[in-house]
Amino acid sequence: MRIRELCRLKRINIDLERNIITVNNPEKGSRPRSFKTSSKLASMIDSLPRKNEKTLGKQSPKIAVSSLCVLRKTIARKLKNPRFEQMHFHTLRHWKFHTLRHWKATTEYHKTKDILHVMKMLGHRRIENTLIYTQLIQDGKEDDYHSATANTSEEAKALIETGFEYICTYKEVMLFRKRK
Residue that terminates a domain, selected from 38, 73, 96 = 96
The three-point CA angle 16-33-58 to 5° equals 65
Q: Which residues have C-beta within 8 Å of that of residue 171, sequence separation ≥ 6?
A: none
Mean pLDDT along residues 60-77: 68
Residue ranges of alpha helices (H) inside the chain are: 3-8, 39-46, 61-79, 82-86, 98-112, 115-122, 127-133, 153-161
Q: Residue 129's domain spans which residues?
A: 98-137
- The percent of residues in the chain predicted with pLDDT above 70, rounded, is 72
156 shares a domain with 120: no
> What pLDDT is recorded for position 65?
63
Q: Using the predicted structure, report yes or no on whether residue 20 has a pLDDT greater than 80.
A: yes
Calculate the average pLDDT of the chain: 77
114 shares a domain with 78: no
Tell me the pLDDT band of 158, cut-offs 50, 70 and 90.
very high
> What pLDDT is recorded for position 159?
93
> What pLDDT is recorded for position 90?
44
> What pLDDT is recorded for position 155?
95
54 shares a domain with 4: yes
d(CA 166, CA 159): 9
80 shares a domain with 26: no
18: left (phi over 0), alpha (psi -120 to 50) or beta: alpha
91 shares a domain with 102: no
The backbone torsions φ and ψ at residue 152, rounded to the nearest 5 degrees and listed phi first, read -125, 165
Q: Using the predicted structure, report yes or no on whether residue 177 has a pLDDT greater than 80.
A: yes
Q: Using the predicted structure, report yes or no on whether residue 89 has a pLDDT greater than 50.
A: no
54 shares a domain with 36: yes
Q: How far apart are the first and last CA of the chain?
A: 27
Residue that terminates a domain, selected from 12, 42, 59 = 59
> What pLDDT is recorded for position 59?
60
3-state secondary structure of 20: strand
What is the number of domains present in the chain? 4
DSSP conformational letter for 10: B
Total number of residues shown for the chain: 180
110 shares a domain with 85: no
55 shares a domain with 11: yes
Name the maximum alpha-carbon separation found in the chain. Answer: 62
